[in-house]
Chains A and B, each alone.
Chain A
Amino acid sequence: MDGQELEAFAYHTPPEIRGRKGVQHPVVIVGAGPVGLAAAIDLALHGVRCIVLDDNDRVSAGSRAICWAKRTLEIFDRLGVGERMVAKGVTWQVGRVYHRDEELYSFDLLPERGHKMPAFINLQQYYVEHYLVARAAQFPDLIEIRWKNELVGLRQAERSVLLEVDTPDGRYELEALWVLAADGARSAARRALGLEFAGHVFEEKFLIADVRMRADYPSDRRFWFQPTFDPAESVLIHRQPDEIFRIDFQLGWDADTEAERQPARVMERVRHVVGPNVKFELEWCSIYTFQCARLERFVHGRVLFVGDSAHVVSPFGARGGNGGIQDVDNLCWKLALVLQSRAPEALLESYDCERVRACEENIRHSSRTTRFMTPKTPMERQLRDAVLALAREFPFARTLVNSGRLSRPCSLAGLSSIVADEAAVAGSMAPGTACADAPLVRTDGGPTWLLESIGGDFTVLTFAASAAELGRLEGEQRAAGLDLPLRVLVPAATRPGA
């Protein structure tokens, strides 16, 4: 990690401690992790002011998220950090799966071309947070981040939320119309409201080592079941920027955590993977146990849960951080409309039902993966091993091999918040699915992308429109009393009169 990512952010004595009283803030965000920071920027882009509280004064160190999926990158791009992330990150789209020392198959996560954002990048979470903090600083009138401000208490009042905050200068109280609880897996906001975080722990231990070395490994994700080079049950390798590789070793539930975390033991294991001739340094390593758990609802009065405070999953499939950023994308425009009195509070219910569905999908996939990796009974192991054995020869068995079903946007089709189509539309863009990108040419001849052109507002994208049809659309919008920015994008080839 370069020095700047480690730098502490400055703490300032909050004005409330110096005696300021009676300010009601539209939004307070608890937690300056990737999710809280992304929410602050998204709200700012919609003109909404917020205060962000974080109990720490640094970006998160060590082995945390590295894999960021296309949909998330598209959201980050809208927020203004996507290009920087892709420039620094390691782009990849192919996953390779091995059993013992044989490659069983590979999968391509972006078979279609013509998208601005790649299928996946690997980029350490501390870089992502660092870029988000820098981006947030471009909204000095709208975003105020208060480092070393820990939420210690929270209660709902009639039409607002009262937060108790602890700082190096003592405690103070804040009042907010809405609170975004983005304070992570051990959420203090969740605890303050006494909410149950139900789920289960996966009975498996993983050693995660970030290793710095010069190796001409591919950027592909490589996963071994029962590797021949190490006694681990499975090994997963990802390439990260700065010549750092993430190696996950599946140790087994009975592994001796103390013995396994000894540097000499970790070095020995890494040596098994990289071979005798590669020089390497251990950047970071820890032993993890993972769980999946979730809140039953994400909206509790005026406290809205986003990211890990609302749901956690095992990292195989990269659905944690990616899911959290997609929460933000779903919530912030709605909250902005509610705050601007342009939509009823009931709109926030759609955040709850839409992201609960996504959360269920993420937990289902990551639980299935974990179960495939860690069979619980002799029969489960028989079935798992039979799938692996058949996979070499039989394509059907390859579809059952589960080393991670990598994060994809959840379809909202069928939910009451999504209006079904009157006529069937050809292609995959059904109502409720994330819009696919495509290359476009601007009227001035310059290149652009569909997702850049439709931005974050409501946009009507219409093909083969006539002048009369455009007029009708605008008329309908006025008649419905909709005061929403409605952009109409007409591809030139189909523009009336073209």
Chain B
Amino acid sequence: MSAVTRLRREDGFAGAGDDFYAALLEAHEGLCDVESAGLNARLVLLLGNHIGDLSVIREALSVARAGVSREGKS
């Protein structure tokens, strides 16, 4: 009965999601597009390592990727 950890779908911030989103925008404040993309790359690496669970990360990667390819086609 070892539960496989799955990607969290529910609010992980106990109602404080707006603070998370505001912090994210603040981090990007004043950066040009290339710098912003660089910030995102570092952020993904840091958070990925923090999660440390490749099955969760693979699930997130496929959800994110599916959305991007869908939008790319439309």
- Dominant SS among interface residues on chain A: helix
Distance in Å: Cβ of A479 to nearest Cβ of chain B: 42
Annotate B4-38 by CB proximity to A: 1 below 8 A, 0 otherwise.
00001111110101101110110010010100110
Q: Which residues of chain A come closer than 8 Å to B71, judged between CB atoms?
A: 389
- CB–CB B21/A368 < 8 A: yes
- For residue B67, CB closer than 8 A to chain A, the reply is yes
Which residues of A does B touch, CB under 8 Å? 365, 368, 371-372, 377-380, 383, 386-387, 389-390, 393-396, 399-400, 402, 405
Chain B interface size, as a band, is: 20 to 34
Q: Which residues of chain A come closer than 8 Å to B9, judged between CB atoms?
A: 393-396
Tally the A-B contacts, defined by beta carbons under 8 Å. 52
User: B25 is contacted by which of A380, A390, A396 (Cβ under 8 Å)?
Assistant: A380
A377 to B12 alpha-carbon distance, docked (Å): 26
Q: Which residues of chain A come closer than 8 Å to B31, judged between CB atoms?
A: 379
Closest to B18 in A: A368
- CB–CB B67/A396 < 8 A: no
Q: Which residues of chain A come closer than 8 Å to B17, judged between CB atoms?
A: 396, 399-400
Distance in Å: Cβ of B38 to nearest Cβ of chain A: 11
Closest to B22 in A: A368
Closest to B25 in A: A380
Closest to A390 in B: B67
Q: With A395-B9, A396-B11 given, is the CB distance from A378 to B18 under 8 Å? A: no
Distance in Å: Cβ of B22 to nearest Cβ of chain A: 6
Q: With A371-B25, A379-B28, A383-B24 given, is the CB distance from A402 to B18 under 8 Å? A: yes
- CB–CB A380/B21 < 8 A: no
Q: List 16 A-B contacts (CB under 8 A).
A: A368-B18, A371-B25, A372-B21, A377-B28, A379-B36, A379-B37, A390-B63, A393-B63, A395-B11, A396-B8, A396-B9, A396-B10, A396-B11, A396-B12, A399-B17, A400-B17
Q: Which residues of chain B come closer than 8 Å to A371, judged between CB atoms?
A: 25
A378 to B33 alpha-carbon distance, docked (Å): 7
**CB proximity to A under 8 Å, residues B27-74:** 28, 31, 33, 36-37, 40, 63, 67, 71
